[in-house]
A and B are shown apart, each in its own frame.
Chain A
Amino acid sequence: MISILAILAGLITATAVYLLLRKSLVRVIIGIVLLGHAANLFLFVISGLVKANPPLINAGNDTVTGVSADPVPQALILTAIVIGFGVQAFAIVLFKKAHEKLNTDSMDSLTATDSSRG
């Protein structure tokens, strides 16, 4: 299953990259969200998969029993998801605002800050 998920992570990344290269602001921002998903999935898959044994300590035990999922990447991904959410939320609103102010949906028209007319 690792192989499938690895390919999936690759496909999500590829889609994200493809979207980042599109003109439309909306697609670019979707690309950003997908890239975040890909990175999280990457982190998840790369540290191995364990089915149906979450890192929880059952009543009566002092430690996690059996071959359980590694809690470390889970904790990292949790943090990464939340951070990613914060940053993406900002980016979404930024795009909305930019669209309102600049009145464009095209990435290609965002060239004002690099023209050397200054």
Chain B
Amino acid sequence: MLIILSIGIVVAILAPFLVGSLRYSKNEIINFNLNPGIVLSLIPVGMFIFFFSQIPLISSGTIPFESYPWIESLSINLSFRLDGIGLLFSLMITGIGAGIVLYAGNYLNTHEDLGKFYCYLFLFMTAMIGVSVSDNFFAFFLFWELTSISSYLLIGFNHKEDKSRYSALQALLVTGGGGLALFAGFLLLYTTTGISSFSELSIYNGTLSNAVELSAMILFIIGISTKSAQMPFHFWLPAAMAAPTPVSAYLHSATMVKAGVFLAARLNPYFASVEYWSETLMIIGGTTMLIAALMGVTQTDLKRLLAYSTLSVLGMLITLIGMNSYESLTAFGIVVAAHTLYKATLFLVAGSVDHSVHTRDVTQLGALSRIMPFTTTAGALAALSMLGVIPFAGFLAKEFVYESATQFGYNTVLLVFLFFVTNSLLGAIALRTGIGVFWGKKNNISTEHAHESHWQIVVPPLVFGFLGIVLGIFTSGTTAFFNSVSNSLSRSTLLRELHLWHGFTLILLLSIITIVASYFIYTTISKKGTTPLELKFRLLPTALFGSFIEILFKVAGAVTKFFQNGKLRWYISITFLFAIILIGSSLPFSTNALTFTFPIHVTIYEWMLTAAIIVALVIVIQSNSRLTAIAAMGIVGYAIALFFVLYSAPDLALTQFTIETLTVVLFMFAIYKLPKNVTVPDRNTKLRDASIALSIGSIVTLSILFATGSPSVSELEVFYNTRSLVEAYGRNVVNVIIVDFRALDTLGEIIVLAVAALGIVALLQFSKGEQK
């Protein structure tokens, strides 16, 4: 399977070049019109054939497994497992993919970004296959995220339109956010159990703490709901219809949105036994399928109608997993297959119509069957399947759905009713999209330029439409396969024969009533656009999302403005406040004694120096004249130098004297030309600043007093004092430390000086030179 995935990636990378060169050759060298869609569709066809050939193997219960090391130490491997549901999805992805690639080759023939389109499409296809066959959590996550990214790029394909960009952003944020939840969920399972793959999880017998189990479940359900657009995250899907139609057909109905459902199915073997899992899925799925169908049926835009019906079916699939009965899991596989076929067809048909008539409004469309016979045929086939007419796959799917509902232990009536309403509404949508457009009365559109579409656009939906019948008729032949699908959804293995015809049963009656109801609804709803229901359930979350973004910007702006307000004095205040809290709270009041001694043996010189410093400090603060302040600053420096003299540090004193002088000179050079600008701060500012200043000052004083408690001769001191002359030939220990024992410090120090000098020269001369 790695080979298939690699091929996909390589093709994705090469696609833009291929498209470029085909376009080039068409014009210049050979006069042979080879559409890139035809060439590229061979790839998914080949993949499809491969997967198709695996059916007997998988049906017999074998599960091929490959694993390639990635980050072995973290149990992250590229391990792939092709079980029933994986194969079903792979078949869908490559099969529908082949049609889409072919279709897009004509549909977007003249688009400048066709190359990029194929790149993203193949990336997506690969990612989707990866999702279907990955066994390792993190490999799965890799491909899952890749579907989000490629979907983002495809939704925003018409990137110049604000709406496209916004829809793409919406989809990315919702699915990306869900991806993060999924990531957290995987990590949670991994760090608590060491499990890193679905196959291990499905046979895991250990116990997880309730908290872990519950949080993992919530995280996964967020991942599932966002990806598969379940309530309340459903709103991004209708908006994603901003993408070109082939994209909508592929990603947003047939494949990607089913990734969430797929995840639910993958997790079901373990989580089915976890409390609330099934119930939650049923509630979410049930709500979504009903409300989406109600919202969808009144739509007038073809793509919207289909988008909502997709939502509804996704809800149904989630419900089926949640029911977790043998019937419902069997129904799951069949509904997936049937839905993929008819929904992809209907989307492609919608695209064909749009391409030809330039509108997707069902209230305007009608009577196209003469003009577009092939498109009409495809549309009708799909609509009949969706409606659930025998012998289409859709009929079979509906039978199983009803069967699982009637067989379900409790709330049977409610379930049957729910499915009945949903199915009827979906049937009505089928009639609106697949029948009404072609046979309804001719509405006020000009069909002068309408024409049947190019074969590349017509053939894929026709094939898919026919496959809907094939799947229905050859039901019994698929028994083993669908059993392998349902077996991969649960821990138990049961086999069950599939038949198209069950005889005259209650369920058949239900199916028939459904069709009747659908027709009734279809005729009742003639034209309607947005309904209050839709307002509440689509526009509200969309608006909420919008205001989330808006609030995010506002909060971000406000917070940033608060902290980073540009005022240096505020920065310094906060910085010192942080120091006060951090360091102040670390002062060892409780453990260490303050070594405060009353100054008894203090000479008069020391008192004078102390007084000089204090007076100088007061002058620095009080003086209005800069020169005085600078001079006072100098006095502080000199006084410190004198302290160095008193306390046995002649080298320090010497250096301090010269440096202080130099600093004052520099000040004079640099500052004395500056104009006088005396601003007297108000009392409150003074008080606030003074309290910050005094707090820092006390921290410094206290730190010294705490730290000097235990004076001891350090071994460094002893070493330097004894070795200085003997080994380093110097009597001045401080100097020997500087040029020998710790010469590296001095090397760094002179580099600092050199760079500082360089910087000063640059500051003074850089702009001068420019003017010359």
Contact = CB atoms under 8 A, between A and B. Distances in A.
A binds B: yes
Interface of A: 1-27, 29-30, 33-34, 37-38, 40-42, 44-59, 61-64, 68-72, 74-79, 81-83, 85-90, 92-97, 99, 101, 105-108, 110-116
B275 to A, nearest CB: 49
Nearest to A40: B640
Contacts, number: 303
A9 B650 contact: no
Contacts of B74: none
Contacts of B720: 55, 71-72
B750 to A, nearest CB: 8
B617 A86 contact: no
Given A64-B721, A72-B717, A85-B662, 19 more contacts: A10-B699, A11-B697, A14-B698, A18-B692, A22-B569, A22-B681, A41-B643, A55-B721, A68-B721, A69-B647, A72-B720, A78-B651, A81-B656, A85-B753, A89-B666, A90-B759, A92-B670, A92-B671, A108-B567
Contacts of A76: 745
A3 B599 contact: yes
A79 B36 CA distance: 71
Contact of B674 (A10, A19, A105, A108): A105
A6 B697 CA distance: 10
23 contacts: A1-B602, A4-B602, A6-B708, A9-B700, A9-B701, A10-B697, A21-B573, A22-B689, A52-B646, A54-B651, A55-B721, A71-B717, A78-B738, A83-B753, A85-B662, A89-B663, A89-B666, A93-B764, A96-B670, A108-B567, A112-B566, A114-B564, A115-B566
Contacts of B45: none
A27 B420 CA distance: 82
A18 B597 contact: no
Contacts of B454: none
Contact of A87 (B630, B745, B756): B756
B565 interface: yes
B668 to A, nearest CB: 10
A92 B606 contact: no
Nearest to A48: B711
B737 A34 contact: no
Contacts of B602: 1, 4
Given A14-B694, A75-B737, A96 B610 contact: no
Contacts of A75: 734, 737-738, 741-742, 745
Contact of A82 (B655, B692, B702, B705): B655
A64 B719 CA distance: 11
A113 B56 CA distance: 69
Contacts of A115: 566
Most buried by B among A14, A59, A97: A14
B648 to A, nearest CB: 4
A97 to B, nearest CB: 5
A81 B659 contact: yes
Q: Which 10 A-B residue pairs are closest in the complex by CB-CB distance?
A: A14-B697, A10-B701, A114-B566, A111-B566, A69-B648, A86-B756, A75-B737, A18-B693, A6-B704, A10-B697
A3 B602 CA distance: 11
Contact of A83 (B652, B679, B681, B752): B752
Interface in B735-771: 737-738, 741-742, 745-746, 748-749, 752-753, 755-757, 759-760, 763-764, 767
Interface string B652-673: 1001100100110011001100
Contacts of A15: 617, 620-621, 693, 697
Contacts of A63: 721-722, 724-725
Given A18-B689, A46-B704, A50-B648, A37 B640 contact: yes
Contacts of A37: 636-637, 640
A59 B675 CA distance: 55
Contacts of A4: 599, 602, 606, 610
B757 to A, nearest CB: 8
Nearest to A99: B674
Interface string B631-648: 001001100100110111
Nearest to A25: B674
Contacts of B73: none
B707 interface: yes
B763 A62 contact: no
B751 to A, nearest CB: 9
Nearest to A43: B704
A118 to B, nearest CB: 12
Interface in B84-108: none
A32 B294 CA distance: 71
A85 B659 contact: yes
Contacts of A1: 599, 601-602, 606
Given A24-B677, A57-B731, A74 B721 contact: no
B714 A72 contact: yes
B705 to A, nearest CB: 5
Contacts of A40: 640
A26 to B, nearest CB: 5
Contact of B763 (A2, A8, A56, A97): A97
Contacts of B678: 24
A78 B596 CA distance: 27
A77 B621 contact: no
Given A70-B717, A78-B734, A111-B566, A21 B674 contact: no
A47 B704 CA distance: 9
A30 B630 contact: yes
A26 B311 CA distance: 68
Nearest to B679: A23
Given A2-B597, A23-B681, A107 B568 contact: yes
A85 B663 contact: yes
Contacts of B717: 70-72
Contact of A106 (B677, B701, B702, B716): B677
Contact of B620 (A19, A61, A62): A19
Contacts of B659: 81-82, 85
B439 interface: no
A90 B567 CA distance: 22
Nearest to B701: A10
Contacts of A50: 647-648
A112 B681 CA distance: 23
Nearest to B738: A75
Interface string B352-375: 000000000000000000000000
A67 to B, nearest CB: 8
Most buried by B among A1, A44, A92, A99: A1
A27 B717 CA distance: 39
Given A15-B693, A79-B738, A96 B599 contact: no
B636 A68 contact: no
